[in-house]
Amino acid sequence: MKFNLLLVFLFFVSCSLFRETVGYQKYPIPDGKKILLVPTVSSFYADQYLLEKEIIHQITEELERFGYYVIIRDEIHEFKKYPESNDHLGRLQSNLSPNDGKNDSRLSYWYGIAEGLDIPYVVFLRFPQTTKREGIMVRLTWTELKLRQSERFDWDWIPNSPLPFLQSKESL
C-alpha cells in the first residue's frame, strides 16, 4: 500500500515539475466532413518508410484538428459489403476482375468508392522521390467530388510546421 502511495506521489510531483513537457491540445470532434485519404507509401524495405508513415499520421491528425472525419484507404474494406452467394466460380471471377473488364484508372476507382460511401472529399497523398533534394517532398491532391475539381499541393516536409494547404481549406 505504501508503495502505491509513493508511486502516485511521484507521478504528481513529476507532472507538476515537468508540466511544460506535457503537450495539450483541444480541438472539436469531427463534424461530418468526411475525407477519404489515399496515401501511397514506399515499400517496407525503403529507408523512408517509417518517416512517410509518420508524416501520414501527422497530416491525418491535423485534418482531424480542423474538424474533418478522416477515413484512410486501408479502412475502406471494413465498409464494403459483399453479397453472399454459393457460386464460388462466380465469386472467383469477380475477385479476379473487380471492374467487370473496365480499365478504370485508380483515381476513378477511389472516386467511385467515395461516392458510394457519400464522402465528398478524396485526398491522394504521395511522396515523389527526387534526387536533387535532401528532404522529403510531399504531393497532396485534394479533390472535391461535388465540384469535380482537384487541387494539387507540393511542398517540402518540415516537421511541426503548419500544413500549407489547410489555409485554403478553412472556408470549406
Higher per-residue pLDDT: 34 or 16: 34
Is the confidence at residue 4, as pLDDT, over 80?
Answer: no
37 bridge partner residues: 72, 123
> What is the pTM assigned to this prediction?
0.66
Instruction: Note the pLDDT of residue 112.
Output: 86
Going by pLDDT thresholds of 50, 70 and 90, the confidence category of residue 123 is very high
Number of domains in the chain: 1
User: Of 66, 57, 60, 61, nearest to 30 (Cα)?
Assistant: 66
The answer to the question of residue 15 being in a domain is no
In a domain, 56, yes or no: yes
Q: Residue 78: which domain range?
A: 31-169
**Domain-embedded: residue 14:** no
Of 10-19, 105-114, 117-126, the range with the lowest mean pLDDT is 10-19
The answer to whether 70 and 35 are in contact (CB under 8 A) is yes
**CATH, residue 47:** 3.40.50
